[in-house]
A and B are shown apart, each in its own frame.
Chain A
Amino acid sequence: MSAAHNNFDLMAPPVAKTIRQRSLLVGAVFSVVAGMIAWKWPDQFFHAYLISYMDWLGIALGSMAILMLRHLTGGGWGMVIRRILGAAMRTLPLLALLFLPILFGIPRLYIWARPLDSIQDKLLREHLEQITKTYLTTNGFIVRAVIYFAIWGAVAFFLTKWSAEQDHPPIRDNSSRFKALSGPGLILYGFTISFAAIDWVMSIDPGWISTIYGLLHLAGQVLSAICFAVVVERILVRYKPMSELLQPDFVHDHGKLMLTFIMVWAYFSFSQWLIIWAGNLPEEITWYMKRLNGGWGYVGLFLVLFHFAVPFVLLLSRAFKRDVTRLVWLAVWLLVAHYVDLFWMIEPNFSKTFTVTLADLVIPFAMGGLWMSYFFRNLNAMPLVPAYDADAKQVLEPAHE
């Protein structure tokens, strides 16, 4: 490793600090409003809180997954956004903290945590009488959440620790350790996010199951993570060092990744829909009945068009994928669409007709402001590229490519 890397500073530009402060301001202001909502309309608060929480958590965990994917496959596309993904992943402590309010909302969110006598549906009551003794218990819910966060935290910890070592002249080559962790790490992520999605979202409707459900969340998380990375790289590319690091080929790969995960998301969603639609069993199709009636159908149609069809067509264009200034708009759009997707999955459990509450508008910004502020703090903490990684020359020495 030569002095070539020190030709320019690899730290994030000052703009990161500005955004960090402004995000904190936004987060704080909206948090105050959110607090008032929690006091006035606690139900609405918790519904919106869960949706928003799954959204921001998804970016952090999806970033972790892409990071591990990069460690396994290599490539300049991943190196150039590696520290962006890392910074998003390192928001997990904040997300663990933000999980705590959900614990206070358990009875408001989950029917299984309320007295079962009030349930009209006899079959559901019988089922819940069984399952609330074994699996769907408040203690079990908390213990499992601790396990999920412990696993995510451990993976994130080691990925960060070894990555930080690569900012200095190497003691040893870490790439094999990254590989050794990332394989099992991805499997652990697959399992934990599935069970977390079952616990936190699917169990809102405890009579309904879908075995693909975990993968559906997984696809959405990875998609929103890559979109988020594109947004951040767009902000940074106006300044050094990103302006010298980001090549159109890398942006192209990020665009391809977006396209891939849009298709994966659509594939999982359509498979689930087709199988349930064709089977038409009362315990399954009701999930879709809730989400296709009372105005919710338009939200579903919106998702088909704007979470899949339009982005898909746009991303077929090679020129579009290579131009980060255009790609970023789609990335922002998909982040919004993913929020709508979670909204469509969660909110119809509580509301028969399509309604958007004040909480739904305020809490994403409250949480997002805090999250973004923490993200940019993380981004400032480490250089944007680990200069002493064996693969770093893929982005640091583009002339030799």
Chain B
Amino acid sequence: MDEQTKSVTSSKQAPVIEPGYTFATVTDKISAIVLQRPTSNGWFVGFGIGFLLTMMMLFAIGYLFVRGTGIWGVTIPIGWGFAIVNFVWWIGIGHAGTLISAILLLLRQSWRNSINRFAEAMTLFAVSCAGIFPLIHVGRPWLAYWLFPYPNTMGVWPQFRSPLVWDVFAVSTYFTISLLFWFIGLIPDLATLRDRSDNRWAKIIYGILAMGWRGSARHWHRYETAYLLLAGLATPLVLSVHTVVSFDFAVGIVPGWHTTIFPPYFVAGAIYSGFAMVLMLAIPIRKLYGLEDFITERHLENSAKVMLATGLIVAYGYVIEAFMGWYSGNRYDAFTLWNRLHGPYAFFYYMLLACNIVIPQVLWSKKLRTSPVWLFFISGVVLVGMWLERFIIVVVSLQRDFLNSSWGMYYPTRWDWMTYIGTIGMFLAAIFLFVRILPMISIFEMRTLLPEAEVKE
């Protein structure tokens, strides 16, 4: 608590919350976005676009159910096309939310308090988008529940030596815990909305969701304990999720997949893309809703620093992987490296290096780190770069493996693209809904950042 208040009041960096706010004004400002502010036309346009893209995705998926996965570009040898690329991309994006909420909470980085709520929401929506892909990729999605161990008349059980089953557990645990974490974070704010709403129905709905929260000292104590413990649990969990995703690849012996650096390297890449997405959302939202006082330059700069650091870990991964490919003398590993640099998808590999490694280095400049326009642009570049990375890992590794008789190429079809772009629409639509009906900044945690929150002896 001491460090928190100090970081608010005395700091050379931009403050985490502009001075002059009180408990009442913080509450009013954030809750007014949900309760008073009229729904703008811009909101309807944004939500509408997201909604239409979602419809396009549903159409593509509907057609998939009718015709089967043959409408996609996946063939042998590349059986894991867009579905897995997009799955990994979305799951990676989802990592920033829990990282901001849990890890930064444990590290007592109080600046997180104004961005954790919507970062957590982003996590949930990103994981939902991710979850769609393996589900529709299994071919017979109506039997997807076979992935879970449940007693059945067939007497069969999942095969627990397969990383794909681990993934089912990891992703569903991750979604559940993220949802719980987000929800218990919301309870006190739902109570605030309940007490401040004029609309009868809103009062009832927020009231039900708040579950009768009244802010009792005993309740707060248990609440804080549970929140902290949940953060402690979510931290290894979030690392484990992308680790398990990396096992999907690394446990197999395909050159380009089977490498021990994958777990930390995937986790770093996930955080990298996650923070890029947080910035891409936070920058327009703070502008549109006038939240520059709460999401300050400090937040942008810190997020940029995290991006820079994780981007460099990703770069470390590339260097070590390339070096070992050469050093090991393993001809298949060496060929994988050669194929990335000179094969048919070489252009994408160079693009990837440019987007993930070269361009983000401009973030060493403090000027660019604090410029919303530049950050928005660089975050977009990173998101493209991280998508390309998954494309390279999935497609280029499968494309040419041990036997040249089994080499092939991968060309995504329009159905692949429609599904992919559709999930981006679904993600946006969900974000628009979220900022409209729930407080996008944690009100009670913002109150704790104010100097007057400190108990003086």
Contacts and interface: CB of A to CB of B under 8 A. Distances in A.
A–B touching in complex (CB under 8 Å): yes
A267 B263 contact: yes
B260 A212 contact: yes
Interface residues of B, number: 34
A313 to B, nearest CB: 14
A214 B251 contact: no
A276 B239 CA distance: 20
A131 B312 contact: no
Nearest to B250: A275
Interface string A266-300: 01100110111011010100000000000000000
A40 B308 CA distance: 53
A131 B247 CA distance: 30
B316 A190 contact: yes
Given A135-B327, A187-B312, A191-B316, A211 B236 contact: no
Contacts of A187: 312, 316
Given A135-B327, A191-B319, A211 B259 contact: yes
Contacts of A198: 327
B251 A278 contact: yes
B330 A283 contact: yes
Contacts of A212: 260-261, 263-264
A401 B457 CA distance: 12
A215 interface: yes
A217 to B, nearest CB: 12
Contacts of B151: none
B209 interface: no
Q: Which of B107, B260, B321, B327 has the most CB of A within 10 A?
A: B260
Given A214-B320, A276-B260, A130 B329 contact: yes
B253 A281 contact: yes
B260 A210 contact: yes
A177 to B, nearest CB: 14
A275 B260 contact: yes
A396 B148 CA distance: 57
Contacts of A267: 239, 243, 263-264
Contact of A211 (B260, B312, B313): B260
B324 interface: yes
A390 to B, nearest CB: 9
A274 B247 contact: yes
Nearest to B308: A183
A79 to B, nearest CB: 13
Interface in A175-198: 183, 187, 190-191, 194, 198
Nearest to A180: B364
Interface in B158-181: 161, 163
Interface size for chain A: under 10, 10 to 19, 20 to 34, or 35 or more residues?
Answer: 20 to 34
B327 A211 contact: no
Q: Which of B3, B324, B327 has the most CB of A within 10 A?
A: B327
A131 B261 contact: no
Interface string B197-240: 00000000000000000000000000000000000000010010
A191 B323 CA distance: 12
Q: Which of B163, B320, B324 has the most CB of A within 10 A?
A: B320
Interface in B231-278: 236, 239, 243, 247, 250-253, 258-264
A212 B316 CA distance: 11
Contacts of A281: 253, 258
Contacts of A154: none
Interface string B71-108: 00000000000000000000000000000000000010
A215 B328 contact: no
Nearest to A194: B320
A336 interface: no
Q: Which of A183, A210, A213, A275 has the most CB of B within 10 A?
A: A275
Interface string A100-142: 0000000000000000000000000011001100010000000
A276 B260 CA distance: 8
A33 interface: no
Contacts of B320: 194, 211, 214
Nearest to B261: A211
Contact of A215 (B161, B247, B252, B264): B264
Contacts of B161: 278
A135 B329 CA distance: 12
Interface string B310-339: 001100110111001001111000000000
B215 to A, nearest CB: 26
A183 B305 CA distance: 10
Q: Which of A183, A190, A215, A272 has the most CB of B within 10 A?
A: A215
A263 interface: yes
A148 to B, nearest CB: 15
A209 interface: yes
Contacts of A263: 236
Interface string B134-166: 000000000000000000000000000101000
A268 B261 CA distance: 9
Interface in B42-71: none
Nearest to B317: A211
Q: Which of B161, B258, B259, B261 has the most CB of A within 10 A?
A: B261
B327 A209 contact: yes
B243 A211 contact: no
Nearest to B162: A278
Contacts of B328: 209
A211 B324 CA distance: 7
A401 B321 contact: no
A337 B109 CA distance: 32
Contacts of A214: 320
Given A127-B329, A131-B327, A209-B324, A271 B316 contact: no
A271 B263 CA distance: 7
B387 to A, nearest CB: 23
A356 B328 CA distance: 31
Contacts of A190: 313, 316
A10 B108 CA distance: 29
B319 A271 contact: no
Nearest to B240: A267
A294 B206 CA distance: 65
B327 A275 contact: no
A221 to B, nearest CB: 16
Interface string A50-68: 0000000000000000000
A266 to B, nearest CB: 10
A111 to B, nearest CB: 14
B115 to A, nearest CB: 18
Contact of A213 (B3, B163, B243, B260): B260
Contacts of A75: 3
10 contacts: A75-B3, A127-B329, A183-B308, A214-B320, A274-B247, A274-B251, A276-B260, A278-B163, A279-B258, A281-B258
A-B CB proximity, top 3 nearest: A211-B261, A127-B329, A212-B260
Interface of A: 73, 75, 126-127, 130-131, 135, 183, 187, 190-191, 194, 198, 209-215, 263, 267-268, 271-272, 274-276, 278-279, 281, 283, 401
Given A73-B107, A211-B321, 20 more contacts: A131-B327, A131-B329, A135-B327, A183-B309, A187-B316, A191-B316, A198-B327, A211-B261, A211-B317, A211-B320, A211-B324, A212-B263, A215-B264, A267-B263, A268-B263, A271-B260, A274-B251, A275-B262, A278-B161, A279-B250
Interface of B: 2-3, 107, 161, 163, 236, 239, 243, 247, 250-253, 258-264, 308-309, 312-313, 316-317, 319-321, 324, 327-330
